[in-house]
Every structure is written in structure tokens, then in C-alpha cells.
Amino acid sequence: MSWSISPAIAFSFFYWLVSFCFIASPTEFQSAGFTIQSLFSNLLGSEMLNFVDYHIRRTSTTVIFHASIPLGYFIGMTFVGESGLDFLEISEWAIHTGWQIYFYVAVGIFLGATTLVFYWYMNGWTNHPIVQNLSLYSQQWKELAMAVNAEFRSIDKYTSSPSSSSSLIVTDNWIIKSGPYNVVFVHQDFVRLSVGKTEEYHVSPNSLTTVQYVRINVQPTKKHKPFGIRIMSTDYTEFKAKLKVEVHADPSLTIHRTSSELFLEAFKDQVLKNPLHIVDRMEQYGNCIGCDQKPASVKLIKQCADENEGDCENCNCNPLWCLECMGRWYASRQDQSSPETWLGSFATCPMCRAHFCMLDVSIIQQT
């Protein structure tokens, strides 16, 4: 018996490996563009412009594509020749019957999936799970879809770090969990959220760094099935900031915060101790140019040392930033690998690049 690899075995190995990668979709595969999203981008349209429609098409395409994999293997094997299976040393009759059964099952899966998608597609997709889901909230699902699209286009939304199979998006009104075959939309006015548990993983056996995940139970009050979402604890604050509803958490659970979050707190503490910058009541500064949400509230004034001493410089810029954004800016200018040095360090003014330290940040107060 020779050990040269028959074409059938080589093909089988390659085919199932690629198929597995398509289904499990590891990040390396995603970044190489081997995803349904990039393969069928013309058919799917733009997620940014037309979020709901895009995902109706994406889930339908995924169902059909995945269901065609077994049949694709059969077709491929008829080209490379099923005689390659002789190595199994079972009778020709058994191989033949086995193949026949395989063929019927594969065709069955494929036809089942196409029928399902066709059923979804009838009457302008009204049977699709996404449309059924949106219809829980409004009779006019198309109008609702347009509202969701508009919220998705806003840059002010929470998006979970992309993972292999599912992702989480929180917009002004919606919590959206997207998976390969479905996308669930839950309106924030009709939901109860609670922290289920936290899970910790060591990044590597030799390091003390742990990654913590927070499991959140989502219990919609409309006729949805409850489901769970899992987010990194470092994303937790950002996630919560985008929510209109409380997340009920057992007080005994500790959710690790990031070093930059802890820093932001220390930064605020320091700035609140610094002298206030008194301005005339008539002075108008507008919103912070960082977040465009809060009013600009801080001014940089050299006050850590005398005029000609030290490295800090005077900044003549108008107040343009809120306290949080200035803190984040400051943190972003620091050596990310050694947060313990941040408090005593410098940053430069985002506009004029004057050096400043934490003692030079003053809250504006109008008389």
C-alpha cells in the first residue's frame, strides 16, 4: 500500500478545513477577507447605509451558503473521483450506498435551507426573523428599520470588539446582538438587564494579566426569548454609558475597570482641587469639541510653578474641552505601559501644544 496522498484525500482535507474556517470564522480568516460579508458584498449592500436590510440579506445568504457546504463536497468529489475512498478498504457496494445516502442528506439540507429562505423572502421579507422581531415594536417595520439604520449610522454607539461569530451593538434606543443566522433587536424601553456572572481567564499561564468577561442577561419584556451577552470588563463602562436602563448587578461582583478609567477618576480629583478659572458670565464657549455632548469646562493655565520655572508653558487657547475629554486626551499622551507614571507626567495642549501637567487644568466658573 503506497502512502502517496490521493487527490480525494487532499481535496477532502482542504475542503473541510476551508469550510470549517468559513463557519467558525477565526479572526485571521476574517482579516484575510474570507467571510460571507466580503464574498457577497455586492449582494448585501452597505451595512452603514442600510443596516437592517443588510442583515436580512446577510443572514439569509449565510443560511444558504452554510447549507450548501455538504452538497459542494459531493460535487467536488465527483470531479476528483470517489475511488479515492478505496483506502477505507470497505466494499465498493458500501461506498456506493454511503455516497447515495450522503447525497440525499446533502440535497435535503440544501433544499431545506433554500425553502426556509424563500419563505422568509415572500411578501417582502415579512417572515424573516429580523422583521418578525421588529414587528414586535411597531406595525410599520419599515419605518422602524429606517430609525434603526439612522441610529446605527451615528458614530455615538457602542460596538463590541469584533469576535468570531457574534457582535453586540448598543445605539441610542436599541440593543442589537448579531449572530451568523439571526440578529436580535431589543428596544431599551422594553428590557431588563442584569449581570449574570463574571468569568476570568489568564491570558497566558506565566502572566498575571487576566481578562475578565461580564455575562449580562437580557430579558426583553416583549415576546422575545431572553438571551445572554458577554462583554469584556474593560468595555463594561463604555457599554453602560450607552444604556438608558440600569444593569442590575449583585453588589458582591467586582467588575475590573481599566487603568485609564481609574486614572480618569484621579485626574478629576486633582482638577477639582486646582484653583478655579473665573470668567465673565457673558462668556460663551459652546460644547466640548471632543464629545460634543458636554459644555467645554476646563482651561489650561500654568500654575504648577512660577512663570519661568519648570517645563510647563502657558496656553492661550479658549476653553474647548470638557473635563473628561481633557482627562482622556492626557491619558492618551502617556506611556501606556506604565500607568503609575501618569499622575506626575505632562501632556501637550491639543490645540497649541503647550506643555501642561495635571496641576495646570482649571475648571471654569462663571461669575
Report if residue 288 touches Zn ion, rule: CB under 5 A.
yes
Report if residue 301 touches Zn ion, rule: CB under 5 A.
no
Report which of 267, 268, 356, 266 is spatially closest to residue 304, judged by C-alpha positions: 356
Any alpha helices (H) in the chain, and if so which ranges? 7-24, 27-31, 36-39, 41-44, 51-67, 69-80, 92-125, 129-135, 141-153, 233-241, 259-273, 323-332
CA dist 329 and 348 (Å) reads 9
Candidates 291, 318, 332, 341; binder of Zn ion (CB under 5 A) is: 291
The nearest distance, CB 260 to Zn ion, in angstroms, is 15
CA dist 162 and 185 (Å) reads 18
Report if residue 357 touches Zn ion, rule: CB under 5 A.
yes
Q: Across the beta sheet with 227-232, what order do the strands follow?
A: 227-232, 210-220, 191-202, 247-248
Report if residue 322 touches Zn ion, rule: CB under 5 A.
yes
Number of residues that bind Zn ion (CB under 5 A): 15
CA distances (Å), origin 172, targets 147, 244, 283: 11, 8, 32
Query: Interacting stretch for Zn ion, rule CB under 5 A, among 117-125, 129-137, 236-244, 290-298?
Result: 290-298
Candidates 312, 331, 347, 361; binder of Zn ion (CB under 5 A) is: 312
Tell me the per-residue interface mask from 93 to 132 with Zn ion, x by CB under 5 A, - otherwise.
Answer: ----------------------------------------
Report if residue 191 touches Zn ion, rule: CB under 5 A.
no
CA distances (Å), origin 321, targets 83, 316, 330, 356: 72, 14, 12, 15
Using the minimum distance from each CB to Zn ion, give the nearer residue, 220 or 350. 350
Report if residue 360 touches Zn ion, rule: CB under 5 A.
yes
Candidates 52, 56, 218, 349; binder of Zn ion (CB under 5 A) is: 349
Helix, strand or coil for residue 278? strand
The nearest distance, CB 285 to Zn ion, in angstroms, is 12
Report if residue 317 touches Zn ion, rule: CB under 5 A.
yes
CA distances (Å), origin 97, targets 69, 93, 165, 273: 20, 6, 36, 82
- What lies within 8 Å, CB to CB, of 144 at 6+ separation is 134, 137, 138
User: Three cell numbers at 149?
Assistant: 439604520
The nearest distance, CB 341 to Zn ion, in angstroms, is 15
Candidates 111, 241, 343, 352; binder of Zn ion (CB under 5 A) is: 352
The nearest distance, CB 258 to Zn ion, in angstroms, is 18
Strand partners, 228: 217
The nearest distance, CB 311 to Zn ion, in angstroms, is 7
Report if residue 243 touches Zn ion, rule: CB under 5 A.
no
Using the minimum distance from each CB to Zn ion, give the nearer residue, 86 or 269. 269
**Contact residues for Zn ion (CB under 5 A)?**
288, 290-291, 304, 312, 315, 317, 322, 325, 349, 351-352, 354, 357, 360
